[in-house]
Amino acid sequence: MDLGVARNLKISQLRLISAIAEHGQIRLAADELAITQPAASRLLADTEQNLGAKLFERHPKGMVPTLIGRALTQRAHKLLVELRDLSRDLHELKSGEGGTATVGAVTGAAVGFVIPAINQLKATSPKADIHVNVEASEVLVRDLIGGKNDFVLARLPPDFNANEFELMPARTETVKLMVREDHPLARATEVSIGDLTHYEWVMQTHRAPIREAVDSAFLQARAELPTNIINTTSLLAMIAVLVSTSAIAPLASEVSDLLIGNRVGAKLSVLPVKRPIVLTPYYLLLVKGRQLSPIANRLRALVNAELNRGSRR
């Protein structure tokens, strides 16, 4: 991974940047770092030279971040939080604490299989510490490899080696284009993706599989991509936009089915597009050779059973 100018940064520099932004004075920041004011001044100057940018404007009564300084301060803060959490993780793991089951799933799989399995597990073990991550496959698989998820229901991104994983029965996921119930196109008998270019859209940003699947559908239809788009990952925001505008939102079919199904009954409709928009299949993935906690193993077995109950599509 190319870190650019950040490759030479030091944690002390991040701490200084963050402390100056917080206190507004380098003298106070120096105190926090337990160094003298001249040492802090030089450290800041060195940092600015390394980065090639002025981070703070100097004033008689202290310092104020520049625009770049604000951006850097925000990043520095995130980094420091991450470092603190790294220490905490380390401490907890050394103590033999921290036993949870963490399962990751793409949205459809979360709704269709993971939640039911968790509900079953909770029936017998109501106090089990279960965490559900609903994310894109790339994030899920990377986190699986990185040990953050115990197992995941996700697609296998192309640049990952399938041999590293145990894969369970495949599932195919499709995308439904949602609109509000009284949308101009809600009662259309059939629409082509190309007809939808000039509508408003609300969806995740680029690189989300759903977004790529939608972009791909436009390209395959040789149609222009939409440009009137609100970017958000929040389902809530999407629903709010859908019911108050003529926007279109692409959602996984399991999500769509949940929302407009009898149990929830949201007043949304699915556009009948000529060619279904299909996402690549997803799998229950585990890393070969990795041991799971007993609770994670039980949850995996329950998810597996849920997958096997439904017929293949």
Partner DNA sequence: TAAATACATACCAAATTTGATATGACGGAT
Partner DNA sequence: ATCCGTCATATCAAATTTGGTATGTATTTA
Site for its own copies in 50-109 (CB under 8 A): 51-53, 64-65, 67-68, 70-91, 93-94, 107
CA-closest candidate to residue 303, choices 107, 99, 111, 100: 111
Cα distances (angstroms) measured from residue 156 to each of 24, 205, 276 = 47, 20, 21
To the nearest whole angstrom, how small is the minimum distance from the Cβ of residue 72 to DNA? 16
Strand, helix or coil for residue 169: coil
To the nearest whole angstrom, how small is the minimum distance from the Cβ of residue 59 to DNA? 7
- β-pairing, 56-59 vs 101-105, is unpaired
220 binds its own copies (CB under 8 A): no
What count of other Cβ atoms lies within 10 Å of the Cβ of residue 167?
A: 13
Map the footprint of its own copies across residues 149-188, applying CB under 8 A. 180
With respect to its own copies, which residue has the nearer C-beta, 37 or 232?
232
71 binds DNA (CB under 7 A): no
Could you give the CA distance from residue 15 to residue 5 in angstroms, rounded to a whole number?
17
Which listed range, 18-26, 99-107, 152-160, 163-171, lies at the site for DNA (CB under 7 A)?
18-26
Could you give the CA distance from residue 155 to residue 53 in angstroms, rounded to a whole number?
41
To the nearest whole angstrom, how small is the minimum distance from the Cβ of residue 48 to DNA? 9
The site that binds its own copies (CB under 8 A) totals a number of residues, namely 93
Binds DNA (CB under 7 A): choice among 21, 63, 101, 110: 63
* Type of residue found at 14: L
What's the burial of 20, exposed, middle or buried (CB within 10 Å: 0-12/13-18/19+)? buried
DSSP 192-203: -GGGGTTS-EEE
To the nearest whole angstrom, how small is the minimum distance from the Cβ of residue 196 to DNA? 52
280 binds DNA (CB under 7 A): no
User: Which residues, in sequence order, are bridge partners of residue 187?
Assistant: none
174 binds DNA (CB under 7 A): no
Q: Quote the strand ranges of the chain, DSSP E.
A: 56-59, 62-65, 101-105, 130-134, 151-154, 165-167, 171-180, 201-203, 229-231, 249-252, 268-270, 277-287
Binds its own copies (CB under 8 A): choice among 35, 186, 230, 295: 230
Which listed range, 20-28, 117-125, 130-138, 142-150, lies at the site for DNA (CB under 7 A)?
20-28
CA-closest candidate to residue 255, choices 167, 145, 173: 173
Strand, helix or coil for residue 150: coil
Which listed range, 36-44, 73-81, 93-101, 185-193, lies at the site for DNA (CB under 7 A)?
36-44
Could you give the CA distance from residue 104 to residue 288 in angstroms, rounded to a whole number?
17
236 binds DNA (CB under 7 A): no
68 contact, one of DNA, its own copies, none, CB 5-8 Å limit per kind: its own copies
Strand, helix or coil for residue 52: coil
Which listed range, 53-61, 77-85, 224-232, 254-262, lies at the site for DNA (CB under 7 A)?
53-61
With respect to DNA, which residue has the nearer C-beta, 50 or 174?
50
To the nearest whole angstrom, how small is the minimum distance from the Cβ of residue 80 to DNA? 16
61 contact, one of its own copies, DNA, none, CB 5-8 Å limit per kind: DNA
Enumerate residues 6+ apart whose C-beta is below 8 A from 54: 48, 66, 68, 69
45 binds DNA (CB under 7 A): yes
| Binding residues vs DNA (CB under 7 A) | 8, 10, 12, 24-27, 34-39, 41-45, 58, 60-63
